[in-house]
Structure formats: structure tokens, C-alpha cells
Structure 1
Amino acid sequence: MKALFIGGTGTISTAITALAPQCDIELYLINRGNKMDLVPEGVKVIQADINNEADIKDKLKNMTFDVVAQFIAFDTDALERDFRLFEGKTKQYIFISSASAYQKPLASPYITESTPLSNPYWEYSRKKIACEEYLMKQYRENGFPVTIVRPSHTYGDFSVPLAIHGKNGSYSVIDRIRNGKKVIIHGDGSSLWTLTHNTDFAKAFVGLMGNVHAIGDTVHITSDESLTWNQIYEIIGSALGVKPNIVHIPSETLAKADPELSGGLLGDKTHTVIFDNTKIKRLVPGFQATVRFDQGIRKTLAYILSHEELQSPDPEFDTWTDRMIQLYEEYEAKLSEI
């Protein structure tokens, strides 16, 4: 099988890029070349900017693929370009969408691929919905061989999956936990969430590649493990050898304090979600997510704490967190006086 990944070195795609060559897949990446250390031996890199359509068209002019996978598109303009580039040049085009596109607020926490798509809280999710609609239109009207994949919260070596963190990523929260500083969990921390290790995601994804039964279809890939946010932070703390000092603050309050949190909280992580993975298991017989969160997060933390380039301080986020906690605790204290 001959495959082309647009991207290939991100949180999700790194694990797939590592696994694909082990499955006799001849793999090419369109990549700017910024993370060449993450590209396994034998994977061929077409160093280019996918947004330079003329250059890409020239570099691919004599090439066809069994699979093209798009990991980095976030709007329909990118997909219109891909349709121009790859119509007639691939037997399957796989688009990475998002499980955040599922209906919010949820009518039921049990999610299947037929759960409606609607997210008034998060523009990112609405753009993914628009991308899905565009691609399915191309499938119906032009026979473009689309497969849509919806990941939920997938993590790997480079970042700890959290509900709330700053612009510099997860390290600031890790550092707060291991130093006994207070950290914020939205709501009361009892809503259920699903975290999937990227190596588990990769196994299912590779099983979809070249899979005729997946053409014209949509499927999500997640673990079957459900954890509360309190459990997630307790597990992170346990892996660091400490008990996290947690402060619960309502999601709506956090979103008002920082509107940029609104999409990720009110449009996603606030809600209990339990994924039904029957479909991916039917399409990829034998697939099972096998990395429990307590296992995967130890590997993630070990990697981060041994790579200084991933240990980015975030003083702006730390200041915001401390101030947010102070104000909320003062508010709670005043409530007790009523």
C-alpha cells in the first residue's frame, strides 16, 4: 500500500507514522520539515507547504496513492484545495475531524456515529462539521472516496491531557501539581471523560487504511475507558508521586473569566461522554484500545520530564490561575456568611 500523510508529526499522526511502515505501507509525508527527528527511517518526506498548491501539484504530478490522509485541515478552503489536488489520484481520502462536533448540549451521554452534529459553543467544532459536510457532498456527487475519522481527546508523549492549561501547553500544570500548588478542575470534577493513547488510535487508523468498507463512512476512534476529571487529575498526581491540590470552579464561571475557554469547556469537556466503539471494532476486527490512562500517562510524564524543550514555563497562566482561585475562594467565603 502506498500512502501520503499531510502532516504526520503531530500528537495523533506521530504514532500512525511510526506504525504504518511496520504494516508494509510505503509512506510519504507532506511536511515543512520542522520535526524530522520524529520521522522514522524509510518514511519519505516531501518537504513543502501544503498551502502552496502550485508547488504541491508539481511535486506530486506523477504520483498516485492508495490512501491520502489529511491531519491538519481545519476549514473547507483546505479541503477544496485537497479535492483539486487528489481527485483521481487516490483510492481513499481520510479526513481527521473531531468528536467535539457531536451535539452540545448532549441529548444522551452515549455517543454513536449517528449522534447529531451541532456545537454552538465552539467555532473549531463548527468548522469541522462544515468540513465533513463538504466532503460527503463530494462523495455523493463526484465519488470522491472519503473516510471521516473523529478522534476524541488523544494524547501521546508530548503533552499531558488536561481540561485547562495555558498557551504554552501542559507543563505549567504538571509543575503546579508536583510542587503542591492549587490547580483548577471545572465543575465538581464528576463528569466522565475519555482519553485515548495515540498508539491505540494508530492501530485502528491503520486498519481503516485501504479498507473498502470505510469508504463513504464516518467513524470515531476512542478508548473504552471512562474516567471522571477528578480521577484523571488524581492519576496524574499519583504518577508524579503527589496528591493534587484541586480547586473546583464552575465551567460557566471559568468561561466568563476567560472567554477563550468557552469552546473547550462548554463545547466539549464539561459534558459527560461515553463512546460506543462498536463501529470501529466492526470495521477493524480485533481492534481494542489496550493502554489504560494510568499506564499511558506515566510514559508521557517520563518523556516530558526528560526533554527540556517540552518544559515551557507559563507565568501568564500561573498568574491567572492563582488570581482565579483567590477570587473564587473569597466568593465562596462570602457565601458562607449569608
Structure 2
Amino acid sequence: MKALFIGGTGNISTPVSEIAVQRGIDLYHLNRGNREPIPGVKSLVADITKPKELEAALKGHTWDVVVNWIAFNTTDVERDIELFKGKTKQYVFISSASCYQKPPVSPIITESTPLKNPYWDYSREKIASEEVLIKAFREEDFPMTIVRPSHTYYSVFPITLGGWTEYTAVHRMKKGLPVVVQGDGTSLWTVTHARDFAKAFLGLMNHPLAIGEAYHITSDEALTWNQIYTFLADAAGVEANIVHIPSQKIIEYADQNGFPSEEGNLWGDKSHCALFDNSKIKKLVPDYVATIPFSEGIKETLAWFESKPERMIINETTNRFLSELVKNYG
């Protein structure tokens, strides 16, 4: 199988790339070459937004699979349709499980759950991109597959405030400072390690029954937000000092005091329960089982951050936001 990953060195795509190489996939990355290449991956250096660079890098290539890990809007998708029409047997768009209906009408999400998120521009852009691809499949036979990850981690902290690419929340935990959890912390959430995600994802690559279909890929482990923060603190060797604040208060305080908006992050995503029925992907990839519990996977993520000081980013704006939330509502 000859595959092209546009991007390929991010939080999810890095483990997927590493396992793809282990499985003997002839894998190419198309990116700007700013990150250390993954051993065994062939590199095509170009900026996806620059047509002349793209033309030179892709000249003479056809693909079994093209995956765009960094397509976020209809402009990106429309460009890819023109670029890879007739040149790939499958095009995979990385969408997002945040596209599913908010607020949810059921805590159990399937691929037939409506796509509607009035709170988050990111999700609406992904939904619009899916619609462009579905139209291209129906009218032009463009061989697309849609994949919707949900809060998948490897080199990010999958928490609500002070995490993701930041080390801020962990720094606060280690200093004995409070961290903020939305609501009462008891709503159920799903986190998935990227190596588990990779098992299912590689199974749908170049699979003829995946063409024209959409799938989410998650673990089956349901955790409360209190558990997620507690497991992170355990990995850091400290006790989490959790302060619970209603989502609406967090959103209002951010909006009224010049902090980045939290409406999409909360009302558009993490304030709701999110449990996934993975029957569809398991039918396509029967041996898919997520086996990395968050309590173990997060230890690896913490070690990844702490292995290089430049990864331990403490965002002072986030720090101030959390401290002010605690002072006003804690």
C-alpha cells in the first residue's frame, strides 16, 4: 500500500505513521519539513497552500490512500478534491467528533447522530467540509472516507483548561495550586490513546467498504472529568486540588474579561457527556480493541512532555485565568 499523509507529525498522526511503517506501508509525508522526520517515512517537502511547490512535490505520484490530517475548512477540502481526483483510490478526511449534535439528545453517539454544533466554529467548518466531500462522492465518485476522532491523546494533555499543548495545569498541580473542572466533574467523557486509534485507522485505509462512509474511532473507556484530572495528578505524583465551576460561569468570565472564548470548548464539546458506539468501525476492522487505559497512557504523555524542557509550556494567560476563576467562583 502506497499512502500519503498530508501533515503526519502531529499528536495523532505520529503514532499512526510509526505503526504504518512497522506494518510495511510505503508511507510518504507531505509537509513543510519543520519537524524531525519519522524513521522509515519518505518526505515530500512542500507547503500545501502553495500550488507550484505542490505540483513539483507530487509530480509522477499516484496513491492507494491520501490522508489529510490538517484540513480544517471547505477551501482545504475543495483544493484536495481537485488535486487528488483520479490520483488516489481513497481520500481520508480527518473530521471531529465535536461535530455531533450539541446539546446531545442521547449520551450514546453513533455515526447517524446528527451533525450540528452551534457553539464552535471549528466544528461547523468540519461539518461543512464533510458536506463538500459527500457531494463530491455522490456527483463525481470521489473516493472519500470521513473519520471523526474524539479527544485523542499522545503528545497532548486531554483536559479542559490548562492542557492540550500546555503544561500549565500540571505545573499548577505540582505547585499545589487549584485546577478548574467544569460543572461538578461527574459527566462522562471518552479519551483515546493515539496508538489505539491507529489500530482501527490503519484497518480502514485502502478498505473498499470504507469508501463513502464516515466512522468515529474511540476507546470504550468511560471516565468522569474528576477521574481524568485525578489520573493526570497521579501520574505527576501529586494530589489534584480540583475546584468545580459551572460551565456558564467559565464562559461568561472569559468573555467579560478579555480571555480567549471557552464557549466552543465547553458548550460545543466538553460540558456534555460523550460516549461512543464503535460498532461500525469494529464491523469493518473486527480485531480493533482499545487496550491502553487512560491511567497508564497519561503517564507516557507526561513523560513525553517532561523529556524536553521546551515542551513544558506554562501559559501565563491561562494561569491567570484559572487563578481568577478560583478567586471569583471557587
- The two structures, once aligned, show a CA RMSD in angstroms of 1.1
Corresponding residue for residue 11 of structure 1:
11
- 8 Å CA contact retained: 1:193, 1:227: yes
- 8 Å CA contact retained: 2:108, 2:276: yes
213, 219, 223: which is aligned to 2:219? 223
1:145 counterpart = 2:143: yes
CA distance in 2, matches of 1:195, 1:280: 17
- 8 Å CA contact retained: 1:57, 1:85: no
Letter in 1 for 2:82: R
Corresponding residue for residue 164 of structure 1:
161
Cα displacement string for residues 131-175 of structure 1 (whole angstroms, at most 9, x for unaligned residues): 00000100000000000000000000x221111127x83301001
SS of equivalent residue, structure 1 residue 147: strand
Letter in 2 for 1:204: A
Unaligned runs of 5+ in 1: 330-338
1:182 counterpart = 2:183: no
Letter in 1 for 2:307: S
Corresponding residue for residue 51 of structure 1:
49
Corresponding residue for residue 333 of structure 1:
none
CA distance in 2, matches of 1:52, 1:325: 46
Letter in 2 for 1:307: K
205, 212, 215: which is aligned to 1:209? 205
When the two structures are superposed, what TM-score results if normalisation uses the length of structure 2?
A: 0.96
CA distance in 2, matches of 1:67, 1:19: 16
Letter in 2 for 1:42: G
CA distance in 2, matches of 1:203, 1:69: 15
1:192 counterpart = 2:188: yes
231, 235, 245: which is aligned to 1:249? 245
CA distance in 1, matches of 2:223, 2:40: 38
CA distance in 1, matches of 2:40, 2:248: 49
Cα displacement string for residues 63-88 of structure 1 (whole angstroms, at most 9, x for unaligned residues): 10000001001100011111111000
Corresponding residue for residue 297 of structure 1:
298
CA distance in 2, matches of 1:180, 1:304: 19
- 8 Å CA contact retained: 1:113, 1:220: yes
Letter in 2 for 1:160: F
Corresponding residue for residue 309 of structure 1:
310
Deviation at 1:246, TM superposition (A): 0.7
Q: How does 1:299-338 map to 2 (within 5 A)?
A: 299-329=300-330
Q: How does 1:229-244 map to 2 (within 5 A)?
A: 229-244=225-240
Corresponding residue for residue 271 of structure 2:
270
Corresponding residue for residue 336 of structure 1:
none
1:22 counterpart = 2:22: yes
- 8 Å CA contact retained: 2:192, 2:218: yes
CA distance in 2, matches of 1:305, 1:21: 26
- 8 Å CA contact retained: 2:243, 2:326: yes
CA distance in 2, matches of 1:217, 1:123: 24
- 8 Å CA contact retained: 1:162, 1:170: no
CA distance in 1, matches of 2:124, 2:162: 22
Letter in 2 for 1:53: P
SS of equivalent residue, structure 1 residue 258: helix
CA distance in 2, matches of 1:221, 1:55: 33
121, 127, 134: which is aligned to 1:123? 121
Deviation at 1:55, TM superposition (A): 2.1
Corresponding residue for residue 258 of structure 2:
none
Which aligned segments of 4 or more residues in structure 1 are displaced greater than 4 angstroms? none
Deviation at 1:53, TM superposition (A): 1.9
Deviation at 1:307, TM superposition (A): 1.4
CA distance in 1, matches of 2:5, 2:119: 30
Deviation at 1:327, TM superposition (A): 1.0
- 8 Å CA contact retained: 1:161, 1:170: no
Q: How many residues end up aligned between the 2 structures?
A: 325
CA distance in 1, matches of 2:58, 2:237: 51
Higher mean Cα deviation, 285-294 or 251-260? 251-260
Deviation at 1:103, TM superposition (A): 0.3
- 8 Å CA contact retained: 2:162, 2:319: no
Corresponding residue for residue 334 of structure 1:
none
Identical counterparts, % of pairs? 53
Cα displacement string for residues 90-130 of structure 1 (whole angstroms, at most 9, x for unaligned residues): 00000000000000010001000000000000010000000
CA distance in 1, matches of 2:4, 2:226: 40
When the two structures are superposed, what TM-score results if normalisation uses the length of structure 1?
A: 0.94
